Amino acid sequence: MSIRTPITAQQYQKMRQGAAAKERDLAVRNGILNVGLDETALNHASRVAGRHVFSLELPTGKITAQEKSGRCWLFAGLNTLRFKISQKRNLENFELSQSYLMFFDKLEKANYFLENILETRDEESDSRLLMWLLNAPLQDGGQWDMFTALVEKYGIVPKEAMPETFSSRDSSRMNSVLTHILRGNAAGLRGAYRKGAAIAELKIRKAEMLQEFYRLLTLFLGLPPVNFTWEYNDKDKRFVREEPCTPLSFYHREFPEGLRDYVSLINAPTPDKPFMQTFTVRYLGNVEGASPVKYLNVEMPLLKAALIRQLQDGDPVWFGSDVGKMMKREDGILDASVYEYEGVLDTQFTLDKGGRLEYGESLMTHAMVISGVNLQGSRPERWKVENSWGDKYGNQGYFVMSDSWFDAYVYQVVVHKKHMTSEMRKVWETEPRALNPWDPMGSLA
């Protein structure tokens, strides 16, 4: 017996009468109709509180711009590296090539996708797993461990060694065409398997597909450099020419400590993810054979303490958050109170952070860099954020994030192991529990 019920005429009449009877709504309705909800609900106090002054601030360089692409995670990762290189080399405005890593991310994601297609060859075409794999095999987004895998395998280069192209700056057409190709490849591999092709034959076909994919990728992003000579002028106007090097030797020379000791701490307060436990996500990655994406879920005070220790050590912090929530983009303000939605609408939002994750209201959408904090004693009040949206927003591209916004919408920070407590380091070494691919912690920045 069905329990479904339609809206009746009597019900509708009651709704209309109830809405019309609320006199307070008249002025609010006019405000929202004329200027929209955000301008009606804008809290001026957030502008006052969002001062771009910090008790601890790292001297990061000119803001970068990912433009019409989803490469924030690459920009944020490379911005943490360029800070150290700039300090070491006495550079003022220096960038590493984002299109270089974008190229290899696309290539590796293509291989990773086709390997997943072969692994799931017995899945029905309408299975949830296969549909998830086919949904977005080549999107621009990524995770910290995926960034590490690319850098450790392919190295890094200065931006002038592989500059931006039309498709690196505006990736939608490239992505749609290459995704079309990959879905066709998936259909070809699965079709050949159904006709009796052995795995060895399917692997040969996959290699041929990747050969063609590489060729197409060069048409959009260019050929990556095999070696290059680095020339620059430092802050003292001193000209320097380095000996020719490869991208990998450049990385190891400029960043000898490497990235393997940087780990991801998350704050995901949902019933299925106990604190002080490690997690991974099935089918989340890019470089086949690299270390899997791994998280340690911790309570917020532990996460912030490790982050502050890293800033005090002179090291900026890669972090992931739900950037679209409670943001005044033009002013560069991230504040949980920047819009008084509940007061203006005379309603209540009932989901807490865990509920927002569990019921699809929030997930990590964007990666940026924390390069400063304003401390009242040991308590953080606001944070300096290096974004990758160009210099038109905020303070020449830098945002200010209130601590209340941090609590509500920051999900991940990357810190060096030395900044974790001994208990956290011990738990980090435990075997992670695998989450489903569609878990919110499987989202890509």
Q: What are the helix and strand counts (H, E) for the chain? A: 16, 14
Nearest to 67 by CA among 171, 139, 221, 178: 171
Does the active-site annotation cover 227? Answer: no
Q: CB neighbours of 77 closer than 8 A, spacing ≥ 6? A: 144, 147, 151, 318, 367
Q: Which residue has tokens 């060729």?
A: 215
- CA 401 to CA 383: how far, in whole Å? 5
Q: Which residue has tokens 């002080």?
A: 276
Catalytic residue among 111, 366, 374, 419: 366
Task: Sort strands 333-334 and 327-328 into parallel, antiparallel or unpaired.
Answer: antiparallel
Q: At 343, give phi and psi (nearest 5°).
A: -70, -45
Q: At 369, give phi and psi (nearest 5°).
A: -125, 130
Q: How many CA atoms lie within 13 A of 256 on its CB side?
A: 2
Would you state the structure tokens that stand for residue 141, as one six-digit string? 């987004």
Q: Is 104 exposed, middle or buried (0-12, 13-18, 19+ CB in 10 A)?
A: buried
Helix residue ranges, H only, 9-126: 9-21, 24-41, 44-49, 72-89, 98-119
Tell me the β-bridge partners of 266. Answer: 297, 412
Catalytic residue among 185, 267, 286, 387: 387
Q: CB neighbours of 240 closer than 8 A, spacing ≥ 6? A: 89, 230, 231, 232, 233, 234
Catalytic residue among 72, 111, 297, 374: 72
- CA 344 to CA 333: how far, in whole Å? 20
Does the active-site annotation cover 245? Answer: no
Q: Contact 159/62 with Cβ under 8 angstroms?
A: no
- CA 405 to CA 326: how far, in whole Å? 8
3-state class of 383 per DSSP? Answer: strand
Would you state the structure tokens that stand for residue 204, as one six-digit string? 């040969």
Q: CB neighbours of 169 closer than 8 A, spacing ≥ 6? A: 67, 68, 69
Length of the chain: 445
- Find the helix or strand (DSSP H, E) in which 95 lies: none
Taking every pair of C-alpha atoms in the chain, what is the biggest distance, in angstroms?
Answer: 82
Q: Contact 170/71 with Cβ under 8 angstroms?
A: no
Nearest to 384 by CA among 42, 48, 75, 55: 55
Residue 92: what residue type? E
Active site residues: 72, 366, 387
